[in-house]
Structure 1
Amino acid sequence: MMFEKYGFAGAFVAIQAVLTLYAQGLQSGVVVDSGDGVTHICPVYEGFTLPQIRRLDIAGRDITMYMIKLLLLRGYAFNHSADFETVRMMKEKLCYVGYNIEQEQKLSHETTVLVENYQLPDGGWGEVRGPRGTIPAHLINVEGQGIAELLFDTIQRCDIDIRPELYKHIVLSGGSTMYPGLPSRLERELKQLHLERVLKGDVERLSRLKIRIEDPPRRKDMVFIGGAVLADVMKDRDNFWISREEYQEKGMQLALEKLMPGGTS
């Protein structure tokens, strides 16, 4: 398509997680990429993805559907595709990730502190108690671990020598990582998992664990930004790109072999 429809002179195929790190000026780290349909946790070391990639089939659309379910239980009716869009906007405006889920649940049950009012398209007002934390997988009919546990397992499955580097560069990417409070909640849960499973409860050693979760303000566009950075850096290296001539002469499959480790340039 790039050559035939848009007439590009050259193209390159890159992995999203690697581009996300490039956007942050990094070559090593773990990318937590969550969009509308799926969440991926991808470790990268010195520009190469590692095989310990994990996938979670929960993302933005599932959270929207979960909010619709909660609102239906409160008596609100949603009948059109436009209603889905309304709830999606409510989610983006009102939802955040609570630092302490037990405390959040107590506040929700005992007070009205967490109640928000939202104006509906028909001009009426609805009372919303949106999802105030990372939603347990079983509540939306998906079996599996949560993001923090998958992230912890991903890093712990990597070589022990590179784990400190990965813990120090955890980068959030994608629209479903935009919720306020997500970085601090992930850091809290990672430390708790490390304390329980690695340190066996030794609190004194926990201070040695250096965790940094990077949440750049434009993380919805991190892959595009990283691609732009890579394209600018490599713009004058002709052997880096698949050229239109290579594509026309060899076809896409042979041209893509150029991008593989050990491929010809």
Structure 2
Amino acid sequence: MVTPLEYIRRLSRWARALMMLGVVLVTGCSAPHGPPAGALQDVQSIEIRYQYSGWGRVDEVHRLEPGAGRRTFQRSSQLDSQEDPDAVVTDAIPAQRVAELLWAVSAPPWPRERGVDAVARRVRPARILEQVLSYYSTPERGCTPRAFEARAHALLQRDSLKGQLGRYYANGIWTDDDPAMRVVIRYEHRPTQVLASNERTLLMLPWVLGDPGAGDAAVTTWSVPVSQALRRLLPESSKAFERLGRREDGSLVERIAATARVACKVQHR
């Protein structure tokens, strides 16, 4: 006869088995993707250069080299501050952050739809709505502040927001904002990896992997993890750190405000 204690033990084993089965069904039989074997130990240096012109100028250079035992990487950052343009800030960061970048860069490229979906989950609708309402002006007949807010609120719902972001990325942004980021990962025994972006958009998506100037076949990826991993390698005082951390921007707010205004006018003609 099975005792209550033995019954509980058997139930626990069944629960663990079902949980493992669920993991297999969700992730498949293959092992999770990670950086190429030994890549972290083979890194010689990483250089991240961020330049910006438009409403000011920025020229930052961040260099990372493995420390003793490769448990940390030494980071040397020239932040190009107006107070001291030649100042260099040095510190150490965990090797795990470098591994995150290697993982993101070596992963299969993200298609545009996946990137847009990930960005939509980062956006804060309440923050955007607050800014959109400041664009309300003398309305067309019947388009009251409440009606305008209702149209803007509708545009910030899940599927509508993804549509707005899709057009935001597809149509480009025409401003004086002119950023450029180039990342070079050098190895002891492997080919150098290069990724770059000149995009004005959130997270600077998409990224171009490869160096066409060196004969590489360029690959485009909309990988949000690439942007996030790069940001984690930068000091918080970096302008690039600030840029890669933005969850909304003025261009997206203006687009949603303009769309809400048109929809409100059409509805209340």
Measured against the shorter chain, the TM-score band is: under 0.3
Structure showing greater Rg: 2
Specify which structure has the bigger relative contact order, considering alpha-carbon pairs within 8 angstroms and separated by 6 or more residues.
Answer: 1
Q: What is the TM-score of this pair, normalised by structure 2?
A: 0.21
Tell me which protein shows more strand as a share of its residues.
2
